[in-house]
Chains A and B, each alone.
Chain A
Amino acid sequence: MHTRIVEVVEENPAVKTFRFRYNVKVLPGQFCMVWDGAGEEVPMSFSYTGKIKGVTVKKVGKTTDLLHRRKPGEVLRIRGPFGTHYPVSSKKYLLVSGGTGIASLAPAAEKIVGRGGKCRFVAGFRNASEIFFIERLRNAGIDVEIATDDGSAGFRGFVTELAGKLFAGESFDYIIACGPVQMLKEIGRRFAEKVETYISIESLMKCGIGLCDSCSILGYRVCREGPVFRAGELIEKGWLEE
């Protein structure tokens, strides 16, 4: 379906959020295929799942660079929502993001709090200049701690370490995480055996509808059976050794 961009927000020098109307039910963790008619069609997680939807795009290559030039009023074609979503309930959650992983976790955190659940959020970034969405989360009453690789803001070190510290002092019903694959594997190693752990992974998407096999890992289609997986399920199939 085509939609017009209603707002563009610069989150940091490399990340922009595009807001648009898309009257379809979307659950946090699901993604869509975004096409501007010029670049490639690319997979993006929904960073807003309410009435005005959104995707939050990091500039990393040709197409994301083209997308960053899009202005309000310009047209995007959206296919989706596709894939699985994060578990959302009134239980207690630890959410862990690395980099732009915060984009798909933010709506999950808001939904959990809206359902009467509790969440602690730890957000990792390379450095202070890359931080975004923290205000949004705090405005929703979510307790956020930050980790940076260089210590320029919050905890100095990996976000997985910070998550480990929180986990040692409190009990959680769920951990959900989104970020670079090495981070997700570390989350799996640390927590999957101790608590229900869900992770959202990326893979090369072409069709997005479960036809072409390009996104598959370990026999699972990331576009259908993922992108949100129970970590234990992947680990059983040998994911950590991949």
Chain B
Amino acid sequence: MKNPFILASGILDTYAETMLRVAEDAGAVVTKSIGMEERKGYENPVIFEFEHGVLNAMGLPNPGIERFGEEMKKLRGCRAPVIGSIFGKNEKEFAHLAERMEEYGAAAVELNLSCPHASGYGMEVGRDPALVKAIVRAVKEAVQIPVFVKLTPNVSDITVLGMAAEEAGADAVVAINTVRGLRIDLEFKRSVLTAGIGGYSGPGILPIGLRCVFELKKVLRVPIVGCGGITTWENVIEYLMAGASAVEIGTALRNDVRLFKNLGRGVKQYMKRKGYERVEEVVALAHQNR
């Protein structure tokens, strides 16, 4: 990876052409989460933007693993490694999806065990440590490429899930996916989203993501990818200090597709000012300085 910035799943990553654009500045890119069959997702409204971030319930729209092969083909020349995100109902589906992603040339797979609003998938699977273990084991057996496990913050103790993933052989964990949330429309007297409850992303969830990474770092040996609420280079440093080795960014890209470039500059300058040469020197510093 040429830098620690990774495009998070579900943002500007349904079509290869858009991913290639973001990939120009990224250390790696994660695809939209892909399942067994095509899904249209929920009806609009699927997004609500407000001052602290975004609430979404897209409903995992995706073309299905077969057709996604076309996009992966176009990603062959991608400058950054492509990580295939997948979601399934059980270990069998996950193993199959991971195999296909490996065939398509993915550098790694990311298991979406954390989407908060699609029934029967994501978080509904990923909240159960025993299921997490079974799925990670099945995928590890099915593929050679590294397996990242994306965790949900919508549990009372995220470290239980992190440890389950690590024990089953995960190569890295990603924390966090969106936080379950709701906003209500006072005129229409109903949720602002068709699906009702959605997932909260953007600046408002930064402290939650940081807390999760901090807690996970205390108990895990595998690398952690921090995610959630990053909009500035300062936020990136915070994640590194909390224990992340790299970061994923989604929501903030809507206003600036070249965001990674600007963040990179800020991170570099900070490190220079403080006398650090490598990103690794910053990782987990907040655990020493207490």
Contact status of A216 and B46, CB under 8 A, knowing A37-B185, A207-B56: no
Q: Is the CB of A213 within 8 A of B49?
A: no
Interface residue from A2, A205, A206, A219 paired with B18 (Cβ < 8 Å): A219
Q: Is the CB of B20 within 8 A of A219?
A: yes
A38 to B45, CA, bound (A): 10
Contacts of B49 in A (CB 8 A): 79, 209
Interface residue from B14, B17, B194, B255 paired with A212 (Cβ < 8 Å): B14
- Interface residue tally on B, bucketed by range: 20 to 34
B223 at the interface (CB under 8 A from A): no
Contacts of A209 in B (CB 8 A): 47, 49, 54, 254
Contacts of B32 in A (CB 8 A): 213
Contacts of B17 in A (CB 8 A): 216-219
A58 at the interface (CB under 8 A from B): no
**A56-92 with Cβ < 8 A to chain B:** 75, 77, 79
Contacts of B51 in A (CB 8 A): none
Q: Is the CB of A2 within 8 A of B45?
A: no
A209 to B252, CA, bound (A): 11
Interface of B is mostly: loop
How near does chain A come to B185, taking the closest CB pair, in angstroms? 7
Number of A-B residue pairs, CB cutoff 8 Å, is 85
Q: Is the CB of A37 within 8 A of B190?
A: yes
A224 to B12, CA, bound (A): 12
Contact status of A212 and B58, CB under 8 A, knowing A41-B44, A218-B17: yes
B43 at the interface (CB under 8 A from A): yes
A210 at the interface (CB under 8 A from B): yes
How near does chain B come to A2, taking the closest CB pair, in angstroms? 5
How near does chain B come to A21, taking the closest CB pair, in angstroms? 15
Q: Is the CB of B44 within 8 A of A213?
A: no
Contact status of A221 and B61, CB under 8 A, knowing A207-B46, A216-B17, A216-B18: no
A205 to B44, CA, bound (A): 9
Q: Mark A167-208, 1 if CB is under 8 A from B, else 0.
A: 000000000000000000000000000000000000001111
B204 at the interface (CB under 8 A from A): no
Contact status of A210 and B255, CB under 8 A, knowing A37-B188, A216-B17: yes
How near does chain A come to B86, taking the closest CB pair, in angstroms? 17
A197 to B225, CA, bound (A): 45
Contacts of B254 in A (CB 8 A): 207, 209-211, 224
How near does chain B come to A208, taking the closest CB pair, in angstroms? 7
Task: Output the nearest chain B residue to A205 by Cβ-Cβ distance.
Answer: B44
